[in-house]
A and B are shown apart, each in its own frame.
Chain A
């Protein structure tokens, strides 16, 4: 990166734990930047925990009829792996980036409710710790991340695992709802003068929409958790069939949360991609209004598709077809986004930094996950592949090949802003290729395992033709993937200590977070540039070719091509 100017050492990037009141300044902070970093660090910690759980599972599955883990241990591990990755790694890392960058991108000083923001973080952390305390108490949950009754009810689960699970998730869930409210109010009220709602950077837009998803979806979960707890501890009969309850009801309530949850874990990742791809392609996002609109479409559709998780529950052809068709419709806004990003790259001058490499790989991997996703909307196919390893492959393509790749792209993109130092590109390239190869080696073959009849959530499997070797390949891939995470962590540590100093705007990006220092001061901005369009820093750099000057003042309304001032 020879074109990046040398920058002096930052005066004081972040409070160190070693200094006087260093710890206190982290614990007591209401600053969105420190809280964002806390969110991200905590989710990295839980990512490692969940990843180690996954490695134990893959060791057990490496050979047929392996006895490395007992069924109980395996069941606890896959339950905690799913719960951890969803609630304690993916969700909070996206919320963390949102908390850090939403105020910066809209030119605000902080979130709308800084103390609520702090409370959300601490609820998340302690909810996670409460969940993990179940291991210490002797009975970790083992009902799966969905924890269906009647398996999660007495007498089928007699320990306290289900109770820790319900309480821990309720605590983090309340924090998430508060976070959702905070995002919405911040985006609505704290935008810099001149910035219209439709001029927010796309990441901020997705975080804003994500706020509605959070406050719409999480209450379903919390309701289900409260009823489950009442069943278990107060002898209620919401889901206890033996007492006249209906365990199918839990499935409806859980998935009314569970499917919007998928988009909670994907929308901000879409937003990150919509920042990274334009900047490294040197073009504005192609069709902002279609991307923004398709995000809103996903918000509404996501609440009408949940029963595709229940196609094997025999709800009848009308239910099945309605939810199948609604699920297939999700392919429309998602397809719009994929083509949008491809069109953004088209005709650009693409700089393949590590960030852009992760973003590019997302396009392919997420498309694979999307295609297998559509096959679940086609009800008869779901009747064959439901609860099989085909589903495991699909959702890892969405959540790892999709979200994690986007978060890595976002991390390489924003790390300089957050720390004042660049992540090493050399280590980054290694990180990318190891992740890409390890990920595909682990999960692609699981499609085939599902198709030949391997169900999910099994602690071992019979020695049938092909099963052993395919599972072994997947296990080897998992270790490669784990190694890639190690490379990433080494990169972070090395770069923090002696990484190249980042200028205020090392990528020559266009949104407001790059208009302040790296890292930003406590008050974020000394002064804001004038905001007349979606790319204030482009307008600042090219005063004769500002976005708003182009035809009809609205670049979306036409395909008019304009030469930039330098060409």
Chain B
């Protein structure tokens, strides 16, 4: 993940700029109200504190209609101003569709506890957890959920949106500066909801096009050379004694053997790798996994060591995650990691 989270006040799109401006304006007005109230209270405390020995009663004032009407109209006027601004800014921060039947650029699907991204226009491919967007282009997004309510929220790029199993929601997102942006699942979705982070990579159009073109094809690493002839792997020494933290990766793992291990295990019950027989859609699509920078929806950075720990026992890293652990031997694990990291 980027080392710094994005603040609501650090907008990277016109939509968020509008929300940020309105927020700052409201806080300034609010601060004015707070200072007025605090000032009056402090004045009361200093000026109207009972002096020692003074046991007389003060003037019994029970009201003043003019004052009371004033402080009814005052907040009402303020609320009216804020609501006019709200009406104006709502249209900027969540622009209407340009056509009733507009097709989304990207479909975002929430799962317990990861994100699926379906690119519908720039090639037709599916990726997970790390969203790539072209810089400066406003993208129309459809939100779906496969199970429970989630919330897609990248503070710098667009409004927060519920990701509901009951209805399709739509909004626009945009990034005006190349870079990486942090986001998170905003709505509590059970279990390890905390590890349903979002990473957005904003790239100049040319770079993005190259990325999308690559994503549209099967990874060259999906069928490593020698895969046809690689022997069906005999299981290496059982790893009962090997703890995840001590998992040692052997240098030069054999991706061809790794592919056999992947396809020969229950990995393929949930994951897909384009260009192979693995085509399941239960878990994240791993077609270009080696090019992603995070594992487990942001719980770890994608390094070979982390990947080995993750495959060995994901439950200690992200308790509740639906993936089971695979206690592979050192050689098998090294081969499998080499294969997956080779899926660029």
A452/B5 in contact, CB under 8 A: yes
A-B contact pairs, 14 of them (CB 8 A): A71-B191, A72-B319, A150-B148, A247-B164, A283-B59, A336-B68, A349-B58, A367-B37, A385-B8, A455-B151, A555-B60, A559-B61, A561-B61, A564-B59
A347/B320 in contact, CB under 8 A: no
B37/A342 in contact, CB under 8 A: yes
A314/B59 in contact, CB under 8 A: no
Question: Shortest CB–CB separation between residue B180 and chain A, in angstroms?
Answer: 12
Cβ of A388 under 8 Å from chain B:
yes
- Other CB < 8 Å A-B pairs besides A378-B86, A566-B57, 17 of them? A75-B193, A157-B190, A283-B62, A287-B67, A312-B161, A313-B162, A317-B94, A331-B79, A342-B41, A342-B44, A346-B48, A371-B34, A375-B26, A381-B22, A451-B8, A452-B8, A556-B65
Chain B contacts for A348, CB-based, 8 A? 44, 48, 58
B64/A287 in contact, CB under 8 A: yes
Known: A335-B71, A558-B65, A563-B59. A380 touches B169 (CB 8 A): no
Chain A contacts for B58, CB-based, 8 A? 281-283, 347-349, 564
A511 CA to B62 CA, complexed, in Å: 16
Cβ of B90 under 8 Å from chain A:
yes
Cβ of A379 under 8 Å from chain B:
yes
| Ranked 8 nearest A-B pairs via Cβ | A555-B62, A559-B64, A458-B194, A335-B75, A371-B30, A383-B159, A314-B169, A457-B188
Question: Shortest CB–CB separation between residue B149 and chain A, in angstroms?
Answer: 6
Chain A contacts for B161, CB-based, 8 A? 312, 314
Question: Shortest CB–CB separation between residue A33 and chain B, in angstroms?
Answer: 30
B193/A555 in contact, CB under 8 A: no
Known: A150-B149, A339-B71, A384-B8. A555 touches B57 (CB 8 A): no
B60 partner, pick from A70, A150, A562, beta carbons under 8 A: A562
A464/B72 in contact, CB under 8 A: no
Cβ of A374 under 8 Å from chain B:
yes
Chain A contacts for B31, CB-based, 8 A? 371
Q: Which chain B residue shows the least CB distance to A277?
A: B44
Cβ of B307 under 8 Å from chain A:
no
A384/B183 in contact, CB under 8 A: no
Cβ of A325 under 8 Å from chain B:
yes
A374/B4 in contact, CB under 8 A: no
A452/B187 in contact, CB under 8 A: no
Interface residues in A121-146 by Cβ distance below 8 A to B read 142-144
Question: Shortest CB–CB separation between residue A387 and chain B, in angstroms?
Answer: 4
A40 CA to B9 CA, complexed, in Å: 43
Question: Shortest CB–CB separation between residue B135 and chain A, in angstroms?
Answer: 21
Known: A336-B68, A384-B160, A454-B5. A378 touches B60 (CB 8 A): no
A465 CA to B6 CA, complexed, in Å: 10
B86 partner, pick from A156, A324, A465, beta carbons under 8 A: A324
Question: Shortest CB–CB separation between residue A561 and chain B, in angstroms?
Answer: 5
Contact mask for chain A residues 354-378; partner B; CB cutoff 8 A; 1 contact, 0 none: 0000001001100110011011011
Chain A contacts for B164, CB-based, 8 A? 247-248, 313
Cβ of A284 under 8 Å from chain B:
yes
Chain A contacts for B27, CB-based, 8 A? 371, 375
Known: A320-B90, A364-B37, A556-B63. A71 touches B319 (CB 8 A): yes
A559/B66 in contact, CB under 8 A: yes
Cβ of A345 under 8 Å from chain B:
yes
Query: Max chain A CB contacts within 10 Å: which of B7, B45, B60, B190?
Result: B60
Name B's A-contacting residues (CB within 8 A): 1-9, 16, 18-20, 22-23, 26-27, 30-31, 33-34, 37-38, 40-41, 44-45, 48-51, 54-68, 71-72, 74-76, 78-79, 82-83, 85-87, 89-94, 96, 112, 147-149, 151, 153, 155, 159-162, 164-167, 169-171, 182-194, 197, 298, 319-320
Question: Shortest CB–CB separation between residue A78 and chain B, in angstroms?
Answer: 9
A459/B61 in contact, CB under 8 A: no
B34/A374 in contact, CB under 8 A: no
Chain B contacts for A380, CB-based, 8 A? 18-19, 22-23, 86, 89-90, 92-94, 159
B44/A547 in contact, CB under 8 A: no
A321/B86 in contact, CB under 8 A: yes
A371 CA to B167 CA, complexed, in Å: 32
Q: Which chain A residue shows the least CB distance to B88?
A: A380
B185 partner, pick from A372, A377, A455, A550, beta carbons under 8 A: A455
Cβ of A414 under 8 Å from chain B:
no
Query: Max chain A CB contacts within 10 Å: which of B27, B49, B187?
Result: B187
A387/B151 in contact, CB under 8 A: yes
A388/B186 in contact, CB under 8 A: yes
Chain A contacts for B23, CB-based, 8 A? 375, 378, 380-381, 384-385
A339 CA to B78 CA, complexed, in Å: 15
Cβ of A290 under 8 Å from chain B:
yes
Q: Which chain B residue shows the least CB distance to A541?
A: B57
A246/B59 in contact, CB under 8 A: no
A542 CA to B57 CA, complexed, in Å: 11
A460 CA to B197 CA, complexed, in Å: 12
A467 CA to B4 CA, complexed, in Å: 9
Chain A contacts for B33, CB-based, 8 A? 367, 371
Question: Shortest CB–CB separation between residue B28 and chain A, in angstroms?
Answer: 11
